[in-house]
Structure 1
Amino acid sequence: MQTRDPWGRARAASRGGKQMKRRSRTYRVALGVVALGVALAVILAPGWSLAGPAAPKLLNAVKWDYPPKFNNVTVTVVGDAGHNLKPYEFWKDHFAKAGITVKIVEIPFEGVYEKEKTEFVAGTGAFDVVTFYPAFIGDFASNGYLEPLDTLMNKQPASVWNPNQADVLPPFRELYNKWGGKTYALTIDGDVLIMIYRKDLFEDAGEKAAFRAKYNKDLRPPETWDDWLQVGAFFTRKKGQKLAGKVLERDFYGSAEFAKRGFSFAWFVDRWAATGELYFDQNMVPRVNSPAAVNALQNFVDSLKNAPPDVRGYGYDELRDALIKGNVAMVVQWTDVPKKGADPSESQVVGKLGVGRVPGLSIGGRVNHRAMMPVGRVVAVAASSKNKDAAYWVAKHVAYDTSLENVSTFLTGLDSYRASHLAHPEAYTMFKNAAEARVYLDGLKVALADGYPEIFIPGAAQYEDALDLHVNKALAGQETPKQALDAVAQEWNAITQRLGQQKQVELWRQALKSYQALGLVK
């Protein structure tokens, strides 16, 4: 069955199939996090079919050509399970035409690092194309697990082999793709956080009058993290109270964030990074327990008062649903969520969402905004692959040739990472019209300009997991913010010692130069 979307195009009425969780990530490095021998393999051979949504319409924004036909080779792709692997389903006919059968191995989101690392260390050669979170590139590339791509990228003809890296936005090209001056990966998902709010509530005359009467200032989306607390408290209401002139049938909450064990640390760093401090100083001495960092974590803890009572169980899915099911006034989330909010098949707030900068910190009369760039996805060719050319073409086809289709559909959770993605509002047909899509893309541009990187050196998984553990303990009331961050500093020092102090100092200084060159830090 098909219906017409707001722009007159036909689309399936049912998306079919339950989407797997996208983000509920924990970089747990202890053994036993995931049963490494268990994975779901799906063969995308010619004629293969699976109940589920159809591929997005081919937009032909990129001129590309098929490679010389391969001799029916199999390329095994590994990645986190769920809707972000769907491009390999969307374009299965393209792979078949190129003489390639794609085999997908899905593993749990939280098991990506350990599964791939284990296979690399064991030298099994199990995978040809590996999907991973770019914070791991230092670990994987420096240990020789990945094939350098520069020679493959420069093969002729360019329409077959060139991934047009100049089109990739600088942070997603320089940090996500490169290590030691060489390109080892191609971006397929450009993540950054953004504020999403119920613009209908902020524009309601009654709510505006009530806010002015209470606080003697205008109601507007929060500019600072102190504003976040104030506006969140204002919109938090009990069942039976009124919101925008209507009696609430259930409790309503002012704000919500990702507070679940796994990636809650990124929402703390949103606040802390606005101070201008970095993870470490030049000598890898942690700054994470500075007074400014403690204050930032206290703000995160305080924000839970305005959030649903089960918010500490909120990962990507729960946070998305709290917004698009009409339970909260504002969230900080990944930039794909407004696309979900514009889809009437799952959203109760279609046309009611606005986007804005992640709140910041007022310093010297100027508000400094930073938005974490957590997770993201890149694809690389395993150094052990026996079909490197075919594996590279599969990766390049998803990362460039069909990338606009992959990021502009609500069928995936992939976010824009190329300049060309931001230049085609007509591709984002889940929005009412191109003008509405342009507002979304303009908001994304601003968020990217505020972007703040993860720890892009070997050991990133361990450093970030230690931070997340103690941030989550502070959110649970098990540790004070100071106790939590003092513990993080101690554990970070231990990790650095295990990995080699001098080596880590050198790698961190190189990372800082990259951050500074990209304008991500001063």
Structure 2
Amino acid sequence: MTRRNRKTSILAAVVAAALSVTMAGCSSGSGDSGSSETGADGWSRAYEGTQLNVIGEATANTQILEKQLPDFEKKTGITVNLEQAPYDSLVQKAVLDFTTHKGNYDVLSIPYEYLGAFAEKKYIAPENDFLKGDAKGAGDDFSADDIIPALWEASSKWKDNWYGMPSNSAVMMMFYRKDLFDNADEKVAFKKKYGYDLAPAKTWDQYRDIAEFFNRPKGAEAGGAKLKDALHGVTVAGKRHVATVLEWMNYSWTKGGDLFTDGKPAINSQANVDALTYEKELTKFAPKGFTSATWDETTADLQQGLAAQAITWGDTAGAMEDKSASKVVGKMGYADIPVEKEGDKPEAHLGSWTYSINADSKNEEAGRLFMAWALSTTTQKALAEQGGLPALTSTFTDASLVSSLPYWKQELQSLKEAKSRPRIPQWSGISDAMALALSRALSGQTSPQSALDDAQSKIEDLMSGSLPVTYQ
């Protein structure tokens, strides 16, 4: 995942920019002029000749989907111009298009935390009839019933309406160096030092011990080999960036915290302070550059064998097993995020994105077919086989994928444990306030308590007139 931090609210900044910036329209073709022919596989060709303009985050899922586009054109006669952009840039482009009503993008893959803001402003169109009806024009290999229910609801349902389909089933989980954990000498040394067996962490205390144990300098030994580079016990995101907020929320939730309690901000609760204090302790075992790290850097650390474990996004697991780029192919293990004490219920941070149709699009029908094709069993399996993450139950339970992808079972398990962050219209401001507070505490500029007290005050001001939060 690639995202650049913004110091001010993305929505506010882009709305201001919209007053002076325009985008050239690039949609072409009308959905009403094509043939009514239906192909043998059931896909409608009624919009043949239409060009769709789609934007998605620059991730493996989008890159892999782009390779499959000739299949969509073959089935429907619809061509797709697929633009890819980093997280923040994508949101900026989306909001600019929405606020200027240019309709440059027909279909947008949006981060689900913006669902409430975009739906409330009527920037995206409800798709109840198509999504919960007969999916008119979709082919035989599409079934809405196959979409993972909890994932779909979190990513696409706002109040009484459905606004699209999940475009990414990203969920956070624990990555760990299986080869190091399985090494006999490491097992003996760990038990001698800590008094219990070395195994993937079940609790945060164990996670901290393991981070300390595997934190070793260049030239030391790990797993029976001399280290060419330093090995860090853990890698974390610590930059003033949404990546830092989302990682911290795992520590918060599993330690009993949350952003809201009884509909009111609870940023500086004791549980949240404890979670931030704990994460600050972990940074002793992280790369020195963690204060500039987002999910991109944590992914690179893991992929290059520079860290023993991390709490990170499941949609980067494919990168770990990529023989052309990874030094840890076959060496990585995947597990539940640790909990405060054994027996507690695991939770995992959901990071889904959503295909939605621009309310200003003139190609809504063709856009619906694109969404259905992207969520068809044919496309989803191809996505999975090339390292992406699907959103269908059938793809996650496909026997060939389960047997060939070492992270596959854990992805589905973590999705079952997933919890959503707030999707309310004020999310952008909340994220900004939290990113500043967390980065300052993790870098040692202020204490966890002081940082969260400051964030509490800012978020209370931001939410003034909108409390209590009754739907998120």
Alpha-carbon displacement from aligned partner over 1:352-371 (angstroms, at most 9, x marks no partner): 11111111112xx6334322
Would the alpha carbon gap of residues 71 and 366 (structure 1) be closer, same or farther in structure 2, given more than 3 Å must change? Answer: closer
Alignment partner, residue 145 of structure 1: 123
* TM-score normalized by the length of structure 2: 0.88
Structure 2 residue identity aligned to 1:193: M
Alignment partner, residue 398 of structure 2: 424
The Cα shift of 1:329 comes to: 0.9
The Cα shift of 1:247 comes to: 2.2
Q: Matches of 1:489 and 1:421 in 2, distance apart?
A: 42
Q: Matches of 1:42 and 1:203 in 2, distance apart?
A: 54
Q: Matches of 1:145 and 1:235 in 2, distance apart?
A: 49
1:473 to 435, 440, 453: 440
- Structure 1 residue 391 and structure 2 residue 377: aligned? no
Q: Matches of 2:412 and 2:22 in 1, distance apart?
A: 40
Alignment partner, residue 119 of structure 1: 97
- Structure 1 residue 280 and structure 2 residue 260: aligned? yes
Would the alpha carbon gap of residues 310 and 41 (structure 1) be closer, same or farther in structure 2, given more than 3 Å must change? Answer: farther
SS at match of 2:312: strand
The Cα shift of 1:234 comes to: 0.4
**Contact persistence 1:294–1:482 (CA under 8 A):** yes
SS at match of 2:265: coil
Alignment partner, residue 435 of structure 1: 403
Q: How many residues align?
A: 455
Q: Matches of 1:247 and 1:162 in 2, distance apart?
A: 51
Would the alpha carbon gap of residues 99 and 177 (structure 1) be closer, same or farther in structure 2, given more than 3 Å must change? Answer: same
The Cα shift of 1:468 comes to: 1.7
SS at match of 2:139: helix
Would the alpha carbon gap of residues 491 and 209 (structure 1) be closer, same or farther in structure 2, given more than 3 Å must change? Answer: same
The Cα shift of 1:493 comes to: 0.8
SS at match of 2:283: helix
SS at match of 2:261: coil
Alignment partner, residue 14 of structure 1: none
The Cα shift of 1:235 comes to: 0.4
* TM-score normalized by the length of structure 1: 0.80
Any gaps of 5 or more consecutive residues in structure 1?
1-20, 46-62, 428-433, 512-522
Alpha-carbon displacement from aligned partner over 1:85-126 (angstroms, at most 9, x marks no partner): 331342235225523222233443212333212321222222
**Contact persistence 1:40–1:106 (CA under 8 A):** no
SS at match of 1:448: helix
Q: Matches of 2:41 and 2:441 in 1, distance apart?
A: 51
Q: Matches of 2:239 and 2:25 in 1, distance apart?
A: 29
2:470 to 498, 509, 520: 509
Alignment partner, residue 415 of structure 1: 389
Q: Matches of 1:107 and 1:155 in 2, distance apart?
A: 33
Alpha-carbon displacement from aligned partner over 1:352-406 (angstroms, at most 9, x marks no partner): 11111111112xx6334322113x2111111111111011111221133544235
The Cα shift of 1:487 comes to: 1.2
Q: Matches of 1:249 and 1:150 in 2, distance apart?
A: 56
The Cα shift of 1:137 comes to: 0.9
Would the alpha carbon gap of residues 22 and 424 (structure 1) be closer, same or farther in structure 2, given more than 3 Å must change? Answer: farther
Would the alpha carbon gap of residues 161 and 458 (structure 1) be closer, same or farther in structure 2, given more than 3 Å must change? Answer: farther
The Cα shift of 1:70 comes to: 1.7
- Structure 1 residue 328 and structure 2 residue 307: aligned? yes
2:147 to 147, 150, 168: 168
Alignment partner, residue 15 of structure 1: none
- Structure 1 residue 203 and structure 2 residue 182: aligned? yes
Would the alpha carbon gap of residues 140 and 205 (structure 1) be closer, same or farther in structure 2, given more than 3 Å must change? Answer: same
**Contact persistence 2:45–2:75 (CA under 8 A):** no
Any gaps of 5 or more consecutive residues in structure 2?
30-39
Identity of paired residues, percent? 25
- Structure 1 residue 297 and structure 2 residue 272: aligned? no
Q: Matches of 1:465 and 1:164 in 2, distance apart?
A: 38
Q: Matches of 1:338 and 1:297 in 2, distance apart?
A: 26
SS at match of 1:471: helix
SS at match of 2:424: coil
Q: Matches of 1:269 and 1:105 in 2, distance apart?
A: 30
**Contact persistence 2:156–2:165 (CA under 8 A):** yes
Would the alpha carbon gap of residues 71 and 311 (structure 1) be closer, same or farther in structure 2, given more than 3 Å must change? Answer: same
Q: Matches of 1:81 and 1:248 in 2, distance apart?
A: 33
Q: Matches of 1:162 and 1:201 in 2, distance apart?
A: 42
Alignment partner, residue 354 of structure 1: 333
How is 1:455-470 mapped onto 2 (pairs within 5 angstroms)?
A: 455-470=422-437
Which segment is superposed worse, 187-196 or 106-115?
Answer: 106-115
Structure 2 residue identity aligned to 1:435: S
The Cα shift of 1:162 comes to: 9.2
Q: Matches of 1:235 and 1:455 in 2, distance apart?
A: 35
**Contact persistence 1:261–1:468 (CA under 8 A):** yes
Which segment is superposed worse, 210-219 or 440-449?
Answer: 440-449
